[in-house]
Amino acid sequence: MEPDAALAVQAAAGDREAFGALVERHQAAVRRLTRAVTGDAHDADDAAQDAFLSALDRIETYDASRPFGPWLMRIATNAAIDLVRRRTVRRADALDERAPSRRSSPATDAESAEIRAKLVAALAELPERQRVAVTLFDVEGYSHAEIAAVLEIPEGTVRSDVFHARRTLRVALEAFAPDRQMEGR
């Protein structure tokens, strides 16, 4: 598999295949992040597309000696926050438009939908930076230092953001998983 840095160089020269490979490789993580920030599947994909176009636009600023992911995530975070601020009307139930649960039982489907709704609501209550921090930490597996670099904030602030975000989410979901260990790492 060709390294991101090599693909970025080729994309900078207008190589469609190379840029497409970068998009394909990172689209899931970027879309998860933009979903966490926007709370809306459609807005999230718009923001994610904007992020990739913005990344192509400024690909010369990417330092090939550093990982591509955090650089892209910073752009995606800004794109998502910009989009959220541009939108005046937001669909509160957007994530409920997603595909149905993989579980078959109507009862568990209902519970799953309720959990999703709770989590969506809890995420929406978080400040944008906390949403990004907890998503990058818990979903994408970034370290505090990496998140600090992405968000350009001190590492201690990231730790605090992740802590508060997790506490909010835990409170929102504790009715559904009272015995589950939610502290994770």
**CA proximity to 130, closest of 163, 160, 165:** 165
Look at residues 45, 23, 15 and name the one whose alpha carbon lies nearest to residue 33: 45
Nearer to other proteins, 63 or 174 (CB): 174
How far apart CA 101 and CA 159 sit, in angstroms, is: 32
Asked whether 3 and 49 are in contact (CB, 8 A), the reply is no
Restricting to residues 36-95, name those near other proteins by CB under 8 A.
36, 41, 45, 48-49, 52-53, 56-57, 95
Tokens (6 digits) for 88? 């005046």
22 within 8 A of 43, measured Cβ to Cβ: no
Instruction: Tokens for 51, please give them.
Output: 């992020």
Residue 184 interacting with other proteins (CB under 8 A): yes
Minimum distance from residue 131 beta carbon to other proteins (Å):
10
Residue 28 Cβ vs other proteins, minimum distance, rounded to whole Å: 6
The only residue of 66, 90, 103, 180 in contact with other proteins, by rule CB under 8 A: 180
CB of 128 to other proteins, least distance (A): 15
- Distance in Å, CB of 66 to other proteins, minimum: 22
| Alpha helix (H) residue ranges in 13-154 | 16-38, 41-57, 68-86, 106-125, 128-134, 144-151
Shortest gap between Cβ of 41 and other proteins (angstroms)? 8
Among 4, 7, 8, 23, binds other proteins (CB under 8 A): 23
Do residues 182 and 171 make contact, with C-beta atoms less than 8 angstroms apart?
no
Q: Six-digit token pair at 138?
A: 């818990």
Q: Which of 5, 94, 113, 119 binds other proteins (CB under 8 A)?
A: 119
Q: Which residues bind other proteins (CB under 8 A)?
A: 11-16, 19-20, 23-24, 27-28, 31-33, 35-36, 41, 45, 48-49, 52-53, 56-57, 95, 98-99, 115-116, 119-120, 134-135, 138-139, 166, 169-170, 173, 177, 180, 182, 184
